[in-house]
Structure 1
Amino acid sequence: MKTPGWLRLRGSLNFKLILSVLIMTGPLLGMLLYNNFYAIDVVREQVADSYKNMLTLYMNQIDSGLNDVDVYLNSMLSGIDLVSLDQAETDADYYSSKVFLFNKLSKDVPLYDSLSSFFVYADKRQELMDVNKTQNLTIEEKELIQHYISDLIRSGGLTGNTPQGWQYARIGNIDYLFDIVRSGNVYLGGWVRTDQLMAPIQSLQIGEGGSVLLANDRGEPITDTELVDENGIQLHQSEGDYYLTGSERKYLIVDSPSAKGNFKLVAVIPDHHILDRLPYLQSIIWLISATSLFFIPIGLYFIRQAILVPLYRVLISMKKVRSGDWSVRVDMHKGGSEEFKILGESFNSMMSEIETLRVNVYEEQINKQKEELQRLQLQVNPHFFLNSLNIVYNLAKVKNYELTMKLTRSLVHYFRYMFRSNTTFVPLKDELEHTRNYLGIQALRFPEKLKWSIEAPDYLTDTPIPPLAIQSFVENSIKHAVTMDRLVHISVRIDFLEEDSGTWVKISIKDTGSGFGDEVLRELQSGRSVENERGEHTGIWNVQRRLNLLYGDSVTIRFANDSESGGASVFYVIPINPLMEVKQ
């Protein structure tokens, strides 16, 4: 029966995903949009306006106090006191004018709450007199201020009689504002500590982590520099009434510039402090949280049933396949989506076909390898066979019956070993015995021209190795190294190796002949087969092929010419316990 279209739509993955996302995020999205894009912006603007008005009020008070000092300083320019001090000819006149001016300033300085001290500098006598309102100044601070003002005037930093307004300076570790006017060669001014100006503002409730500070017209903090530096706050000039800044935590910045100097008041308000003071916004946040606790589990349940559970079944099946279990099948008919049902059916069908194909290919490879191994093992060197028969004939002709019987017995053992076509592995002692038998036959063929030795520890004699794995390399040495011109020595050595990857047997075959040719050696070292002039593969290729079929990448074969004798050297390393079963 064909499933109706609306039922297939309800069972599809797209429908369930969309439904799950809408159930989980729909209410949250609406409330967050309202909360983030409307309420917070409105509240920030209201808070910024409130602080802007407050900063403007305080800045007007500061400017008013500084303006009173400016008016007083300018009024002194037209008075007789500074003129008398400047035009004094004798020391008596100078000190008399100085005392009179000191008394006048001492009497007037308490009238100005914003001011910390008056000072007078006589350029002709290079002398500075200050009149402090408070006696709490340390000698060190007093000397630093005097040196700074004296150096500033002497360096020509002040020119003309026009007031330059209140300027900011850092003297030692303390920030100051100072103003200087000039009458002839006499300079009159006043200075105030910035912390004294900021004292009335410290009562403002900015919130934990916030502050009201002074900054110059370049956006550099004058007070509370640690707060600005640690939080990455930028005190740039904003085109609007407020802006947000900060590296990790965000701060609302509101400022009010001074009309009397190159500084401004800046309120640094933590953004979270604004939200803490908004009960309506807090109610919305709590409502969002409570709503999320209700809707999120429902959405997660739909996602789990529609996506996670079917995917988990597929993942488990794929892990079993990766571990070698090709018979695994996945069941997608228990509440899954239509897409996952199709995926499960396709996966199961593919696994069935792969399993069948894998079995067929595996069996075919096994049969092919067995046939190739048998064919390689049955290959007999025809020259060796004919030469052996010729030796038997010559021995019989001279009636040397003892050597004839010995050679005949060796040939019988030799060919019986050669025709063990159903044997994949043999004990090492059988292969060594066969190699000794073969070398004995060749010693009769090359009398006085061939010597040989075989060294093997007794505890390795039962190690399984492929048949003819040693004799074939020995045969290659006799074929290419032994001549009637000189004596050749062939040595076979068996060693045991123990490494982190397992235990191994190292088999070395060396001769004292002329060694491999350069071209042949390059071909062998690169892993390519070598053919003779008739296009036939050499015996070395025969052994290489069989070792690769039996051991795969576990076997290591090396070819070289011995550095001392110049003869050919072959060694290979095979596992001491191969995975195949040894057949006796």
Structure 2
Amino acid sequence: MNLWQKGKRRMLRSVRIRSLKDTSLRLGTPVFLVLMGLVVCLLWGVWENRKLADKYIADTAKLYVDQINRDMSQINSELIYLLDSDSNIKEIPDQITSTDAQYYEMEQTLRERNRVLKIRYHEVQTFFVYGQKANVLITDSGTMFTESKGMTTLNQMLMSYLQIMTSKDSISTQWTVITFGDDDYIVGWYAKNKKVIGCVINLNLIFRTIRAKTEEYDVIPFMVDARGRVMTQADTSEKYKNEIIDFSKAGKKKKNATVYSYQLGTVGKINLMVLPGGGILENVLIMQIAFVVLIAVLLIVCALEITAYYHRILVPLEKFGQKLEELEKEQSLNDDGSNNLLELESVSGKFKELLRKIQGLKIAIYEKELAEQKAELEYTQEQIKPHFFLNCLSLIHGIADKNNEGEIVEITTVLSDYMRYIFQDSKKQRDVEEELEHIEAYIRIQKLRYGEEAFSFEATTDGDIGEWKVPSLLLQTLVENSVVHGVSLDRKSEISLYLTNETYEDGEYLYICISDTGNGFSKEALDAIENDTPIIYHGRHHVGISNIKRRLALMYGERASITCSNMDENYGAVVEVRLPKTE
């Protein structure tokens, strides 16, 4: 081997080595990029999920606060209207005690009216009517007098508050935030002529409702009134209370927390602090971080697999390829009568022997392939006709549908189903249900041909015949015989098909009876059927019944039978078939 040939072989080897490396890179790089893209998408998804969750929380809280604002506006109008027009309020005397029975009915009416208002406005804890001179408070739960004992702290403080704040008439409903004990309340009232009507809203109820509407998230609702006072839910921890106070004073909020504010009437603002962790957000974040870690592990595994692939597969494969080149060279020399085979390794000799055997099989394999291709070609040619026919039907169906030709669309659809059943792989027997469905398609085609009123068809089954199988197209041949010979345009014909189980001493049988109201079988036809001779009349050779008899004889022997008769002379053909049950 000269220097030029050695250099060429080294160049080819280096090209092949580079191509194998390139293949590894081409396979590994897209996988690596896809995994990195998944990491980026997951990180982006974390951010988008947080934004989406924040938007959901903000919208939910806003809808609820807007509802409260609408209720407060409606309450304003109702309080003014009731105080100006309700005679019961005006009848509250300047002096009244719990023993004044003449006012019981008036008190009961006001309490009931307060209950109705409380039902209408869910956020309101209580509605009340207050008589300043009599110092009497009528709520939805009862009437409180100056001398009343066992009053709740809220009612006591409310009477004290109203005694001070309602000394003068108000030109509109007044709303303010007051603290009774450990709870904060929004009180709305309207005063006129020493009479006051109003309501009390528990801020804790508003806070609980907001948290309930956003229960899947970690949120802290709080309120800042018009005077800058901060009110939180009773169970809020001191840690968060301090952070809320810092936010209300200096606008300083917790890191990564989001605060939304909503104006609540004229009393202040409802605020909602969304914490960065907890709730469904924390679960989603953990899941996505787990996915990121999993993908990172996959990246490391892929890198290790690629390295192992290169050292354990690509390198040995390159060496094996070099040996194959040498083997090919030695094979050609051996064909020339050289002795260079002695210098090959043992494995190369065995592989070469294998090559010889493979070459010896090439001709046989080639001939087998030719035979298979020929058979496949013949089969394809046999399939061309039915497929071409069905494709033509599909083409006609498409054109007719495009041109709104309903009848053509219908008949091509039915004919296509009918022909597909005909062109199915041949079976000696088929289920009765399949045959009956096929007959329905055939009847639809004949009704399109003769008209709906030309004949009627009825198929009746008795007993459980679902497991029975019949020779392929047997029922259609019987029905077709009745249609061809029994249907006339002069009068309406009736065709009936009846199937049932019959049990005899030698086993179970399927009884099939097809009848029509046509002219029936001619005497010549009945004789020909009885004697197994060709049936010829009106110059035509009829083979339907004859074919059925031959098929039944081949499949069932003497156990199957077919009988042809007429209902009356020259009227009503009847064909009866009995098939034995086979395993």
Taking structure 2 as the reference length, the TM-score comes to 0.36
Higher-Rg structure is 1
